[in-house]
Chain A
Amino acid sequence: MGKHPGAGFDATFPLEIPVFAVLGSIGGLITFTSDRTKGVFEYLLAYGVRPRNLFINGLLATAAMSGIILGVALSVGIGLAVDRGVSLNQAFWEALAYYTVPMALAGAFVTSTAGMIWASISTPRTGINGPIGLAPTIGITPTILVLIAAEAAPSSDYYYITGGASLSLILVALALLALSAKLLSRERFLSNI
């Protein structure tokens, strides 16, 4: 592993991107909650679609949306940096690989899964205490904490903070995935009960 990035673009850029990718996942969550409220899931269940497939489709929509944001942000950011002659060292590329991409996808996954479970275990709510209001906060919080911690901590701790956060969020995402199968029963996909 190369020398850790300094305090410039190559250090902060990999930490900022997951914040945007998590925000991008809200679209998938909005689609899920809208289809639930409008009764689309009720019909799909009646036509034989399994609840698990509805959940997986919600996750795929989220992954697609945050993937687009991730791709565009990386392309534009790196393109501008190269254009302005910023030198991108090996540590920068490593940080993208072990932190930015996994953290962005895991953050989006946590946002959408938490949102879907939240939407499904509560009666339909709107506003900040509804799934669309709360889930992005849950997803973005770790990425912002890492951003602040990496700025405040000694630069030698950069890898521990980013690597630890990335691994932790992936574990949380996997735990939520396991939990979702138990929590997402059929009646949780219905609009008003």
Chain B
Amino acid sequence: MNTPPSLRPSTPASSSGRHRIEVQGLSSGYHGKKVLDDVSFTIDEPGIYVVLGPNGAGKTTLFRTLAGVLEPYAGRIEIDGTDSRGSVASPHLQYLSHIDGFPDGLKVDEGLQFYAQVQGVSERDVERVVHLLGLEELRDKFFSELSQGQRKRASIARIFLQERGIYLLDEPTSNLDPKLAREIRDLVLGLSQNDLVLYSSHNLFEAKEIGKYVLALKGGRVGYFGRLSDLRPKKYVIGIRATGAEGVLSASTKKGDYYLQELAGPEEVPKLVQELTAKGVLIREVKEMENPLEDLFA
């Protein structure tokens, strides 16, 4: 994938500046059955807001309702000050569903042209996203001929056709190989410098790596909403990979190459490292073994 000088499209739809999503008492679902119930939050600081939750918690329903694809049963959504009902707020948003959404019988290039037309952007923007996502070799292939990962890549290209300030990305890296997933995460991190990005994922390591805030859904309600850095695991466990530690850390549980040590918090790590080094242990790596996000699923 080529790295372009800029992610910015030639035809931005929304004015630059701070963006805002305000959700108050939102209930939504399908055929009268509630999936989300009384969900409220406000986000206006640029960054990646990781949306987490077990299957059926309401992540996709939340994205669909924010995007205006679903009408809420109750409550209010304001996107940059505009009520989102009936997709009125769509010019402020870019939406990536977990489904590819390319019409049958179209080549990748034709599919992107189709969505460029829908978004009212130029052919230049299609060229730009083709290079941005490294789709040069795929553009003349039929969408049905692509692998799962290639489809996802073509599908993601659509959200870069036009800058819209708010990005709703439902599992953008599912089905992608690690290299491409990394490239997509880097692109999304680029967006998050100035824009609001809601990003759902089942990969907690990915979530921890890129998230600034966490919105955890549980049974259709907000289970946690706050800074990821404020989350602390119930236990603080570190793994130490070292040589010469057999006698010193023999009482520790071992997980693979790592000796596990439970500490009161990260502030105890330098002291422990100092002690081990003084005892002749050659420390090669120290890492946190618990992901605080796992506790949100408990």
Question: Do the two chains bind?
Answer: yes
A interface residue numbers (CB < 8 A to B):
31, 34-35, 38-40, 42-50, 185-187, 190-193
CB within 8 Å for A187 and B95 given contacts A35-B103, A38-B103, A39-B100: no
CA distance A137 to B93 in the complex (A): 42
B87 x A47 contact (CB < 8 A): yes
| Contact code string B34-73 (vs A, CB < 8 Å = 1, else 0) | 0000000000000000000000000000001001111100
User: Is B297 located at the chain interface by the 8 A CB criterion?
Assistant: no
A42, A47, A49 pick with most chain B CB within 10 angstroms: A47
A48 x B30 contact (CB < 8 A): no
B68 x A45 contact (CB < 8 A): yes
B residues less than 8 Å from A48 (CB atoms): 68, 87-88, 90-91
B residues less than 8 Å from A192 (CB atoms): 99
A33 CB to closest chain B CB (Å) equals 10
- The 10 A-B residue pairs with the shortest CB-CB distance, nearest first, are A39-B99, A48-B90, A39-B101, A46-B95, A46-B67, A43-B101, A48-B87, A45-B69, A193-B30, A34-B104
B69 (CB) vs chain A CBs: closest residue:
A45
B residues less than 8 Å from A185 (CB atoms): 71
| Contact code string B89-112 (vs A, CB < 8 Å = 1, else 0) | 011010101011111100000000
CB within 8 Å for A43 and B95 given contacts A186-B70, A187-B31: yes
Cβ-Cβ contact count across A and B, 8 Å cutoff: 71
B interface residue numbers (CB < 8 A to A):
30-31, 64, 67-71, 86-88, 90-91, 93, 95, 97, 99-104, 115, 118-119, 158
Contact of B69 among A40, A46, A50 (CB under 8 A): A46
A44 x B118 contact (CB < 8 A): yes
B64 x A40 contact (CB < 8 A): no
A35-B103, A187-B70 known, 15 other contacts, Cβ within 8 Å: A34-B103, A42-B69, A43-B95, A43-B97, A44-B118, A45-B67, A46-B87, A48-B68, A48-B91, A49-B118, A50-B87, A187-B31, A190-B69, A191-B99, A192-B99
A47 x B64 contact (CB < 8 A): no
A residues less than 8 Å from B91 (CB atoms): 48
B residues less than 8 Å from A42 (CB atoms): 64, 69, 97, 99, 101
CA distance A39 to B101 in the complex (A): 4
CA distance A47 to B96 in the complex (A): 11
B196 CB to closest chain A CB (Å) equals 16
Contact of A186 among B71, B88, B103, B115 (CB under 8 A): B71
A56 CB to closest chain B CB (Å) equals 16
B168 (CB) vs chain A CBs: closest residue:
A46
B60 (CB) vs chain A CBs: closest residue:
A193
A47 x B90 contact (CB < 8 A): yes
B residues less than 8 Å from A187 (CB atoms): 30-31, 70
B residues less than 8 Å from A50 (CB atoms): 86-87
B residues less than 8 Å from A191 (CB atoms): 99
A40 CB to closest chain B CB (Å) equals 5
A residues less than 8 Å from B88 (CB atoms): 48
A residues less than 8 Å from B71 (CB atoms): 185-186
A residues less than 8 Å from B101 (CB atoms): 38-40, 42-43
A34 CB to closest chain B CB (Å) equals 5
B66 (CB) vs chain A CBs: closest residue:
A46
B64 x A190 contact (CB < 8 A): yes
A38 x B102 contact (CB < 8 A): yes
Offer 19 A-B interface pairs, CB within 8 angstroms, sorted by A: A35-B103, A38-B99, A38-B103, A39-B99, A39-B101, A40-B101, A42-B69, A43-B101, A43-B115, A46-B69, A46-B93, A46-B95, A47-B118, A48-B90, A48-B91, A49-B118, A186-B71, A187-B30, A190-B30
Contact of B102 among A40, A44, A186 (CB under 8 A): A40
B97 x A39 contact (CB < 8 A): yes
B residues less than 8 Å from A49 (CB atoms): 87, 118
